[in-house]
């Protein structure tokens, strides 16, 4: 392998990238747009749940119960209604997510010591929001119930009964439970996957499609040099994207960064190398850009987005999909990113992930060069 020829290929490819100003701008804008969306607009955190209240009881007790919900920042009581029909329409039109119904005789049951029911109608179509909302409602009722019990005890002249066991919950690593804190680091992996599947996967297919491959073949450039040279050019672009992601994530969106920057850089390079090699492998396989792109989307973007644990936890997937996820390099990289950003851990915990990334990068690069050689021959 000659460094001079390698550099020539890289330079040619860099020229391609720089000349196509729009693609370049789009490649750099992509991480920004994704970061802005995920950092600012998109969140799985549920609050201000729009709620109707249907109070059939109209007693001081029922109003006190409703005030418990009003006081919680998780619920936003929209209006008081007086029939089920309105609640139904509200849910049908997605104007509200749940409605609280206080049945008639609520206060009578409560005061006589029977079990007093509180009804909740929930729109379950978005199961995640619904189950979080149910959890909040449960907590409101539970703590109000405990308070009532203790008041009753005091009224009887006894000691206020203390709750015998109280859960003391502490959340590590992401104590505010903000979804952006784990999504923004994971985005670095996703953006790199996109760059790999949209830029590097087209690079050789384009030469085939436009007929410039024959010209390249007539030069003394060897297949391995062609692969590595093209790869290096996109490597620079990928690193720029990573820098943008990290700077915007840490400084604008205040995502904690607790680990070692050198470790992050090293693992990112490994991952990027593997991802780009895969793109080039596809590119050498597909004859048209459309095909290369489709294959890139399916084999790197989609798994990188869905099977990496970036948003959806791998642990909940069916066993077979979990097994498939072991061959998705983004899975290891997302684990590393979360570890470095939120947990501040390094080699000692993450050595296996780093090793897997290295093996993947080596194998795929070898595969891409081999494919290229076969194709040329």
- Give the residue, chosen from 66, 77, 81, 97, that forms a contact with other proteins under the rule CB under 8 A: 97
**What b/e string do you get for 67-100 counting C-beta neighbours within 10 Å, with b at 16 or more?**
eebeebebbebeeebeeeebbeebbeeeebbbbb
State which of positions 26-45 bind other proteins (CB under 8 A). Answer: 26-27, 29-30, 33-34, 37-38, 40-45
Q: Are 117 and 65 in contact (CB under 8 A)?
A: no
CB 14 to other proteins: min, Å:
15
CB 175 to other proteins: min, Å:
6
Nearer to other proteins, 94 or 219 (CB): 94
196 is an interface residue for other proteins by CB under 8 A: no
In whole angstroms, what is the distance from residue 36 CA to residue 184 CA? 10
Which residues make beta-bridge pairs with 49? 75
In whole angstroms, what is the distance from residue 209 CA to residue 278 CA? 19
CB 349 to other proteins: min, Å:
5
CB 138 to other proteins: min, Å:
6
In the three-class reduction of DSSP (H, G, I as helix; E, B as strand; rest coil), residue 49 is classed as strand
For residue 247, CA distances in Å to 178, 184, 231, 238, 308 come to 19, 11, 24, 14, 23
- Nearest Cα neighbor of 202 from 132, 263, 288 is 288
Nearer to other proteins, 6 or 31 (CB): 31
Nearer to other proteins, 119 or 219 (CB): 119
91 is an interface residue for other proteins by CB under 8 A: yes
CB 279 to other proteins: min, Å:
12
Cβ count near 239 (within 10 Å): 15
297 is an interface residue for other proteins by CB under 8 A: yes
CB 227 to other proteins: min, Å:
19
Nearer to other proteins, 2 or 43 (CB): 43
CB 327 to other proteins: min, Å:
13
> At CB < 8 A and 24+ separation, what contacts does 311-318 make?
311/44, 311/183, 311/186
349 is an interface residue for other proteins by CB under 8 A: yes
92 is an interface residue for other proteins by CB under 8 A: yes
CB 264 to other proteins: min, Å:
16
175 is an interface residue for other proteins by CB under 8 A: yes
- Nearest Cα neighbor of 8 from 233, 201, 204, 272 is 233
For residue 159, CA distances in Å to 52, 155, 156 come to 38, 9, 9
CB 65 to other proteins: min, Å:
8
Q: Among the candidate windows 231-239, 243-251, 310-318, 360-368, which touches other proteins by CB under 8 A? A: 310-318
144 is an interface residue for other proteins by CB under 8 A: yes
139 is an interface residue for other proteins by CB under 8 A: yes
67 is an interface residue for other proteins by CB under 8 A: no
Q: Tokens 């690193």 — which residue?
A: 239
State which of positions 227-286 bind other proteins (CB under 8 A). Answer: none
CB 1 to other proteins: min, Å:
28
Nearer to other proteins, 142 or 376 (CB): 142
In whole angstroms, what is the distance from residue 39 CA to residue 67 CA? 33
294 is an interface residue for other proteins by CB under 8 A: yes
Give me the sheet containing 98-102, strands edge to edge. Answer: 75-81, 49-55, 98-102
State which of positions 98-137 bind other proteins (CB under 8 A). Answer: 110-132, 134-137
In the three-class reduction of DSSP (H, G, I as helix; E, B as strand; rest coil), residue 76 is classed as strand
Q: Are 361 and 277 in contact (CB under 8 A)?
A: yes
Q: Among the candidate windows 222-230, 240-248, 262-270, 292-300, which touches other proteins by CB under 8 A? A: 292-300
Nearer to other proteins, 291 or 358 (CB): 291
């Amino acid at each position: 392998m000659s460094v001079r020829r390698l550099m020539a290929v890289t330079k040619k490819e860099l020229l391609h990238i720089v000349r196509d100003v729009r693609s370049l701008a789009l490649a750099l804008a992509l991480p920004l747009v994704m970061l802005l969306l995920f950092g600012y607009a998109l969140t799985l955190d549920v609050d201000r749940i729009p709620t109707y209240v249907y109070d059939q009881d109209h007693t001081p007790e029922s109003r006190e119960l409703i005030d418990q919900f009003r006081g919680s920042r998780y619920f936003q009581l929209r209006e008081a209604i007086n029939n089920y029909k309105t609640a139904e329409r509200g849910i049908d039109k997605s104007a509200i997510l749940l409605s609280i119904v206080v049945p008639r005789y609520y206060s009578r049951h409560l005061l006589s010591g029977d079990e007093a029911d509180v009804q909740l109608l929930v729109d379950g179509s978005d199961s995640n929001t619904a189950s979080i909302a149910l959890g909040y409602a449960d907590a409101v009722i539970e703590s109000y119930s405990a308070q009532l019990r203790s008041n009753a005890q005091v009224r009887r002249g006894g000691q206020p009964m203390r709750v015998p066991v109280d859960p003391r919950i502490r959340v590590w690593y992401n104590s505010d439970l903000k979804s952006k804190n784990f999504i923004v680091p994971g985005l670095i992996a996703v953006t790199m996957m996109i760059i790999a599947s949209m830029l590097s996967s087209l690079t050789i297919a384009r030469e085939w499609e436009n007929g410039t491959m024959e010209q390249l073949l007539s030069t003394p450039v060897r297949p391995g040099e062609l692969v590595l040279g093209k790869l290096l050019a996109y490597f620079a672009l990928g690193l720029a994207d990573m820098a943008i992601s990290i700077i915007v994530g840490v400084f604008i969106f205040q995502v904690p960064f607790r680990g070692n920057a050198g470790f992050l850089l090293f693992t990112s390079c490994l991952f990027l190398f593997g991802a780009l090699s895969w793109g080039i492998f596809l590119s050498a396989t597909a004859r048209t850009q459309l095909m290369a792109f489709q294959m890139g989307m399916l084999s790197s973007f989609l798994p990188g987005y869905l099977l990496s644990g970036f948003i959806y936890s791998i642990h909940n997937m069916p066993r077979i999909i979990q097994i498939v996820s072991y061959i998705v390099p983004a899975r290891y990289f997302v684990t590393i990113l979360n570890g470095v950003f939120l947990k501040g851990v390094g080699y000692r915990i993450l050595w296996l992930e780093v090793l897997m990334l290295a093996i993947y990068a080596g194998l795929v690069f070898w595969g891409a060069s081999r494919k290229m050689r076969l194709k040329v021959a």
